[in-house]
Structures are given as C-alpha cells and as structure tokens.
Structure 1
C-alpha cells in the first residue's frame, strides 16, 4: 500500500498513517504506549526514530544527515 506524500508511517506502529504536521504530537502519544524495542531519535530530524542496530542504515538514508554533511563541507570550503 502506497502512502501519500503528506502522510508518514509511525515508527512505533506501522499501521498508523499520520499527516506530516501531526507526527510530532502523535510520536509523543504513541511512544507512551509503545512496548517494543527501544527506539533512538535522529539528531537531525526528531520525527525519525530507529533501533540502535539500524543506526548506520538510517544515516545512509536520512536526507537531513546528508544535508548537514554538505553544509559542513561548504562551511569548511569557505573558511
């Protein structure tokens, strides 16, 4: 099943499809009820949650992480 661009899948419950603007509030509410494996928060986007084992995989796919690397590279280039 395809998810529309405006919606995201909840990392706590894959059956939850949440509008992007509602995701921060949903993560707080859903996280309180979650009983599964501990999820880490991405330091580049608080709406990204992942397991400790999948940290490296997440950083390979995280657009915000790539943008931060590019920004650091540009800053060092101009200094």
Structure 2
C-alpha cells in the first residue's frame, strides 16, 4: 500500500509515506550528517548503523542468496 507510513531512521519524529521515503531520506540524511547510518544493499528501506551492517546483511529478510540457501 503506497499510503503506508514509515519512520525515518535519521529522525524518529518523522513519519513519511512509503512512496515518498526515497525523497525524504535524501534530504533528511543531508540534515543529519552526524548520524552514522548506511543503506542495506538488499533493501533501500533499511538504514543500519555502520557497525551493525555485516550482522544485518547476514539476517536481512531481503537477502535472496540467504533465502535460496535455506531452501
């Protein structure tokens, strides 16, 4: 559903429509350069602290390689 609201990882007080998330995240990331988040390579909706990225990649539900190996 395109009207679904998602929370901004850079500012939790921001709730934006899923369809507007890419635009919002670009602007909000520039306004919060001190926040050390990186995008997940499997899903651009996931923004993870840099130090947790490796763990996230191993457990990300959008990691199709991981899903294929479990089948």
Same fold (TM > 0.5): yes
The aligned residue for residue 27 of structure 1 is 25
**What are the ranges of 5 or more consecutive residues in structure 2 without an aligned counterpart?**
none
The aligned residue for residue 36 of structure 1 is 34
Q: Contact (CA 8 Å) 1:7, 1:17: kept in 2 or not?
A: yes
Q: 2:67 aligns with which of 56, 67, 70?
A: 70
TM-score normalized with structure 2 length: 0.75
TM-score normalized with structure 1 length: 0.68
**What are the ranges of 5 or more consecutive residues in structure 1 without an aligned counterpart?**
none
Q: Runs of at least 4 residues of structure 1 off by over 6 A?
A: none
Residue 38 of structure 1, CA deviation = 1.7
Q: Could you tell me how far apart the structure 2 residues matched to 1:25 and 1:43 are?
A: 18
Q: Counting helix residues as a fraction of each chain, which structure ranks higher?
A: 1
- Between Structure 1 and Structure 2, whose CA radius of gyration is higher? 1
